[in-house]
A and B are shown apart, each in its own frame.
Chain A
Amino acid sequence: MIGEGPLALDPLVVGVVLAMAIVTALTKIGGFWLLSRLEVSDRVEAGLSVLPGAIVIAILGPELATGGPAEWGAAGVVLVIMWRTENILLSLCGGIGAVVAFRALL
């Protein structure tokens, strides 16, 4: 049985949640831990240095690909505001406003 009331804590559920927490913690510290223990060559260092941008693109690409013109237009708005102002908050607000507006219009 899962949960009788809002504050119910089923032992099995708590166990699964904590196991998820441990798995997640290992993924968060694992890459850093491993690289702190390995000698890394210049060549590998160069590969690692492109990771941040590559991960950003790898998350963003499919995210936008599953969207439509509204999301693409709003992403363009974010880029233009960011390029002009370098203000992340302004870019986000502009992007969210744009996506809501474009979805209503398109």
Chain B
Amino acid sequence: MTETDSSDGDRGAAGERPPDAVDGSRPAAVEAESVTFDREGIRAGFLTCLPIAIGVGGYGIAFGMLARQAGLSVAEAALMSATVLAGAAQIVAVELWAEPIPVATVLLATLAINLRYSLMGAALRPWLERLSPPRSYGSLLLMADENWALTMRELKGGGGRGAFLLGTGIAIWLFWVAATIVGAAAGGVIGDPARYGLDFVLAAVFAALALELWEGRSTLLPWLVALATAVVADALLSGQWYILLGGFAAAAVEVVRHDR
């Protein structure tokens, strides 16, 4: 956590930037903007993510209870949350769990559900590629849907805090693992997370993020393509292929449209 070009995140770095990089926050400015990796960035990410991590904790409790019902011990459920850290994949895995464990099915489902992370990680490349490999890869291991969304918002806004993903990831990890243990140990205390609206957290985060990622008219076509592809694919295919297909379809349309 040394070797940074700024001690306090975004503002402190302004004086060191080349003059042409100070103005904008749009992709063109990304090239010249500095990306820091320091304690302040981790802290900012952690604090920003706290309220969302509490919502994630709601899912964690549900996962813990499901895992226990599937026959996993508290320790096994906690181990899965601590090492896998992928909510949807874990919930599907314990739904598939049986005696004997269908190992190939579980692993294939995990791969299919989590392939979207490859696209998400690729989307963070403009910023993460300026960090050292242990920092970028280490941060990516703590990536989940919610903190990816927050990090994307932060970095697109031009803050340049490369440690934001790590900070948000630590918050998610802590609450996910702790909630798993609580859920697995306590059993049916909370009941259905839908009663407290916790099942709506993910949709709410993504609705808020969509508003911020909107960049005007040019965004409309790829988004409509993504929406139509995802809704149709979700209806026709099992698993979560619709996320990948929606993302790829939008990217393909943009590649074709480029320079026209």
Contact = CB atoms under 8 A, between A and B. Distances in A.
Given A28-B143, A53-B223, A55-B119, A17 B76 contact: yes
Q: A-side binding surface: helix, strand, loop or mixed?
A: helix
Given A46-B258, A57-B227, A58-B247, A13 B203 contact: no
Contacts of B203: 60, 63-64, 67, 71, 74-75, 95
Nearest to B215: A53
Given A31-B122, A75-B203, A82-B208, A13 B72 contact: yes
Interface string A14-47: 1011111101110111111111100000111011
A46 B27 CA distance: 10
Nearest to B234: A62
B130 to A, nearest CB: 11
Nearest to A92: B204
Contacts of B246: 54-55, 57-58, 61
Contact of B206 (A10, A32, A59): A59
B136 A32 contact: yes
A51 B250 contact: yes
A79 B70 CA distance: 38
Contacts of B174: none
Interface string A78-103: 11001100001101110111011001
Contacts of B245: 58
A43 to B, nearest CB: 5
B117 A31 contact: yes
B247 A12 contact: no
A7 B136 CA distance: 34
A63 to B, nearest CB: 5
Contacts of B23: none
Contacts of A54: 222-223, 225-226, 246-247, 249-251
Interface of A: 2-10, 12-14, 16-21, 23-25, 27-36, 42-44, 46-65, 67, 71, 74-75, 78-79, 82-83, 88-89, 91-93, 95-97, 99-100, 103
> Which 8 residue pairs across A and B have the least CB separation, nearest first?
A58-B246, A31-B118, A54-B250, A31-B122, A3-B73, A21-B83, A95-B204, A58-B230
18 contacts: A7-B74, A9-B76, A13-B72, A23-B114, A25-B141, A29-B141, A36-B129, A47-B258, A50-B250, A51-B247, A52-B213, A54-B222, A58-B243, A60-B206, A62-B234, A88-B208, A92-B52, A97-B197
